[in-house]
Structures are given as structure tokens and as C-alpha cells.
């Protein structure tokens, strides 16, 4: 991988409808937008300061058509870091993340994200299960709501990017 020091490539992985695009758009625009492209994989470039340092973020918002479609190895090859996103309201999406991780076997920083935390009344996956899976993956974990909590989504992205930069400097 030949990313320059100030470039961070992140892929957003997860089953259909967990909120990958909502989280991506939330991070990029600080807004929750109902209208965006739901049908296609999209790549975004976004310049922003991280701890005072200018960073070029590249975000790949993946778009599997079904839970049968797992991400290909080229994604983990391209990315510096991965978001593994499930919905706390969708048990199958939690299983998807597990299968995707197994398939990719990534050796890059990961963050496990349980989205739709605002929908507690429809919860199918407990926070404890998320924590246990993150421990298994040896990665960070957060429950978030793309629909709310602007700063929280930004902070989760930034935390992953800090880890990417720290690893790169160590290498």
C-alpha cells in the first residue's frame, strides 16, 4: 500500500440496510440525509483536519445486494481501515459482520459499529454481544445512531483514522 502519510482509506462493510450510507454521509456532511444513492457502491474523498493535521479521507461505501454477498479481498487490500457495521435491530446483520471478517481476515485496524442505537424497542443484538465480538476481533466497538448524535459518528471515524496513522508511523 502506498498511501502518503496524510491519506486514510476506509471501507464501510456490512449487510444491506444497516446504515452504511447513512453513517458515511453523516460523517461527510455532518447531516442525516434521507436522500442518497442506495443502489451503488460509492467512493468519496473528503479533506479535513484530524488533531490539527490535514488528512485526505477516502471512504468506500460498499453495497452488497444481499446477505449472501460478502466483500471481496480487494477491499481489504485497498483499505487502511475497516468499519464493520451491523444494525442492533437485525440479528442477521450481526452474523454478516462475523462472516465478512472471517472471509477478509484483515490485518488492518477495524472498528465494529452497532448502528440504529436509537431503535432500542426493536433491539435484537445486546451491547454485551457487540463488546464480546469486538474483543474477539481485537478491535474498537461503538453503538451509534446515524440518525442522531452527530459528534459521536465523527468521533468513531476519527478514532479509527488515528489508529491507522499510529500504525503507519510505527511501521
**Are 56 and 8 a contacting pair, CB within 8 Å?**
yes
**Are 28 and 44 a contacting pair, CB within 8 Å?**
yes
Q: Should residue 18 be labelled a site residue for ligand GDP when binding is judged by CB under 6 A?
A: yes
Secondary element (H or E) of residue 166: helix 150-170
Residues numbered 138-167 forming contacts with ligand GDP, rule: CB under 6 A: 145-147
Residues numbered 34-63 forming contacts with ligand GDP, rule: CB under 6 A: 34, 38
Residues numbered 112-141 forming contacts with ligand GDP, rule: CB under 6 A: 115-116, 118-119
- Span of 3-11, 16-24, 102-110, 161-169 interacting with ligand GDP by CB under 6 A: 16-24
The listed partner (Mg ion, ligand GDP, none) that binds 14, CB under 5 to 8 Å by sort, is ligand GDP
H-type helices in 56-114, by residue range? 73-78, 91-104
Residue located via cell numbers 436509537: 118
**Are 146 and 61 a contacting pair, CB within 8 Å?**
no
Q: Which residues bind ligand GDP (CB under 6 A)?
A: 14, 16-22, 34, 38, 115-116, 118-119, 145-147
Amino acid at each position: 500500500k502506498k498511501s502518503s502519510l496524510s491519506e486514510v482509506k476506509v471501507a464501510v462493510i456490512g449487510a444491506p440496510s444497516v446504515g452504511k450510507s447513512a453513517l458515511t454521509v453523516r460523517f461527510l456532511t455532518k447531516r442525516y440525509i434521507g436522500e442518497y444513492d442506495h443502489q451503488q457502491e460509492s467512493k468519496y474523498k473528503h479533506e479535513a483536519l484530524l488533531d490539527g493535521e490535514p488528512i485526505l479521507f477516502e471512504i468506500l461505501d460498499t453495497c452488497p445486494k444481499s446477505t449472501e454477498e460478502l466483500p471481496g479481498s480487494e477491499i481489504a487490500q485497498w483499505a487502511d481501515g475497516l468499519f464493520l457495521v451491523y444494525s442492533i435491530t437485525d440479528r442477521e446483520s450481526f452474523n454478516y459482520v462475523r462472516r465478512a471478517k472471517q472471509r477478509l481476515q484483515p490485518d488492518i485496524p477495524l472498528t465494529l459499529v452497532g448502528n440504529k442505537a436509537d431503535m432500542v424497542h426493536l433491539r435484537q443484538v445486546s451491547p454485551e454481544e457487540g463488546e464480546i465480538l469486538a474483543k474477539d476481533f481485537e478491535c474498537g466497538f461503538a453503538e451509534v445512531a446515524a440518525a442522531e448524535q452527530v459528534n459521536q459518528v465523527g468521533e468513531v471515524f476519527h478514532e479509527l483514522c488515528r489508529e491507522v496513522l499510529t500504525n503507519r508511523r510505527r511501521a
